[in-house]
Amino acid sequence: MGKAYLFAPGPTPIPPEVLLAMGRPIIHHRTPQFRRLFKEVREGLKYVFQTEQPVIVLASSGTGAMEAAVSNLFSPGDEAVVVRGGKFGERWGEICEAFGVRTVNIDVEWGKAVDPQDVERALKTHSRVKAVMWQASETSTGVMHPTKELGTLCQRYGALSVVDGITAIGVFDVPMDKWGLDVVVSGSQKAFMLPPGLAFIALSEKAWSSVERAKCPRYYFDLAKERSSQEKGDTAYTPAVSMIMGLKVSLELIREEGLPNVFARHAVLARAARESMVALGLELLAPESPSDAVTAVKVPPGVDGAAIVSTMRERYGITIAGGQSRLKGKIFRLSHMGYISKADMILAIGVVEVALRELGFEVELGRGVAKAQEVLFGS
Amino acid sequence: MGKAYLFAPGPTPIPPEVLLAMGRPIIHHRTPQFRRLFKEVREGLKYVFQTEQPVIVLASSGTGAMEAAVSNLFSPGDEAVVVRGGKFGERWGEICEAFGVRTVNIDVEWGKAVDPQDVERALKTHSRVKAVMWQASETSTGVMHPTKELGTLCQRYGALSVVDGITAIGVFDVPMDKWGLDVVVSGSQKAFMLPPGLAFIALSEKAWSSVERAKCPRYYFDLAKERSSQEKGDTAYTPAVSMIMGLKVSLELIREEGLPNVFARHAVLARAARESMVALGLELLAPESPSDAVTAVKVPPGVDGAAIVSTMRERYGITIAGGQSRLKGKIFRLSHMGYISKADMILAIGVVEVALRELGFEVELGRGVAKAQEVLFGS
pLDDT for B150: 98
Residues B161-195 have pLDDT tens digits of 999 999 999 999 999 999 999 999 999 999 999 99
Task: Give the torsion sign (CA, A262, A266, A269, A271).
Answer: negative
Beta strand ranges found along chain B (DSSP E):
5-6, 55-58, 79-84, 102-107, 129-135, 137-138, 143-144, 160-164, 183-187, 199-203, 294-298, 318-319, 321-322, 331-335
d(CA B113, CA B135): 10
Nearest residue in B to A100, CA atom: B217
Dihedral sign for Cα A190, A195, A199, A202, please.
negative
User: Quick check: A60 and B63 CB within 8 A?
Assistant: no
Q: Is the peptide bond before B11 cis (omega within 30 degrees of 0)?
A: yes
pLDDT tens-digit map of A317-352? 999 999 999 999 999 999 999 999 999 999 999 999
From A296's Cα to the closest Cα of chain B, the distance in A is 17
CB contact under 8 A, A13 and B19: no
Q: Which residues of A touch B95 (CB under 8 A)?
A: 219
- CB within 8 Å of chain B, chain A residues 44-63: 59-63
One-letter amino acid of B125: T
Question: Which is nearest to A356 in space by CA: A342, A366, A346, A345?
Answer: A366
Centroid of chain to Cα B325: 18
A196 contacts in B (CB within 8 Å)? 29, 59, 238-242
Per-residue pLDDT tens over the stretch B13-38: 999 999 999 999 999 999 999 999 99
In angstroms, rounded to a whole number, what is the distance separating the alpha carbons of residues B211 and A311? 40
Give per-residue pLDDT as tens, A26-84. 999 999 999 999 999 999 999 999 999 999 999 999 999 999 999 999 999 999 999 99
pLDDT of residue B214: 98
Give me the residue from A67, A189, A240 closest to B195, CB to CB.
A240
Contact A64 B61 (CB under 8 A): no
Note whether B18 contacts A: Cβ–Cβ < 8 A. Answer: no
Nearest to A217 among B20, B28, B99 (CB): B99
Tell me, what's the pLDDT at A1?
81
The full DSSP string for A215-270 is: -S--STT-HHHHHHHHTTT--SS---HHHHHHHHHHHHHHHHH-HHHHHHHHHHHH
* Residue A58 confidence (pLDDT): 98
| Shortest alpha-carbon distance between residue B178 and chain A (Å) | 31
Which of A239, A176, A337 lies closest to A41 in space, CA to CA?
A: A239
d(CA B223, CA B201): 9
A60 vs B27, B59, B222: nearest CB: B59
Q: Which residues 270-329 on chain A approach chain B with CB closer than 8 angstroms?
A: 313, 319, 321
- What is the rounded average pLDDT of the residues A176-197? 98
**Structural domains of chain A ordered from first start:** 5-10+258-377 (3.90.1150.10), 16-256 (3.40.640.10)
End-to-end CA distance of chain A: 36
Q: Give me the residues paired with residue A129 across strands.
A: A79
Number of Cα atoms under 13 Å in the Cβ half of residue B10 = 28
pLDDT band at A371 (very low <50, low <70, confident <90, very high): very high
- Nearest Cβ partner for A28 among B8, B26, B240: B8
Chain B residues inside the 8 Å CB shell of A240: 61, 195-197, 240
Residues β-bridged to residue A201:
A56, A185
Which residue of A lies nearest to B99 if distances are taken between CA atoms? A217
Chain A CB contacts of B11 below 8 Å? 26-29, 238, 241
pLDDT of residue A379 exceeding 70, the answer is no
The ipTM, to two decimals, is 0.95
Residues in chain B, overall count? 379
Quick check: A23 contacting B, CB < 8 Å? Answer: yes
Beta strands A318-319; A5-6: pairing state: parallel
Alpha carbon distance A281, A189 (integer Å): 31
Mean pLDDT by 10 residues, chain B (379 residues): 93 96 94 97 98 98 98 98 98 98 98 98 97 98 98 98 98 98 98 98 98 98 98 96 98 98 98 98 98 98 96 96 96 98 97 97 96 93
Q: Are B187 and B166 in contact (CB under 8 A)?
A: yes
Q: What's the confidence (pLDDT) of residue B379? A: 64
pLDDT at A301 over 80: yes
Q: How many A-B residue pairs are in contact by the CB < 8 A criterion?
A: 170
What pLDDT digit, counting tens, does each position of B88-116 carry? 999 999 999 999 999 999 999 999 999 99
A133: confidence class by pLDDT, cuts 50, 70, 90: very high
Do B62 and A238 lie within an 8 Å CB cutoff? yes
pLDDT score for B46: 98
CA torsion, points B232, B237, B240, B245, in degrees to nearest 10? 20
Q: Write out the DSSP string of B301-347.
A: TTS-HHHHHHHHHHHH-EE-EE--GGGTTTEEEEE--SS--HHHHHH
For residues B54 and B227, is the Cβ–Cβ distance under 8 A? yes
SS (H, E, C) B134-150: EECEECCCCEECCHHHH
- The CA distance from A5 to the nearest CA of chain B, in Å, is 9
For chain B positions 97-136, those within 8 Å of chain A (CB to CB) are 98-100
Three-class secondary structure of residue B81 per DSSP: strand
Rounded to a whole number of angstroms, the CA Rg of chain A reads 21
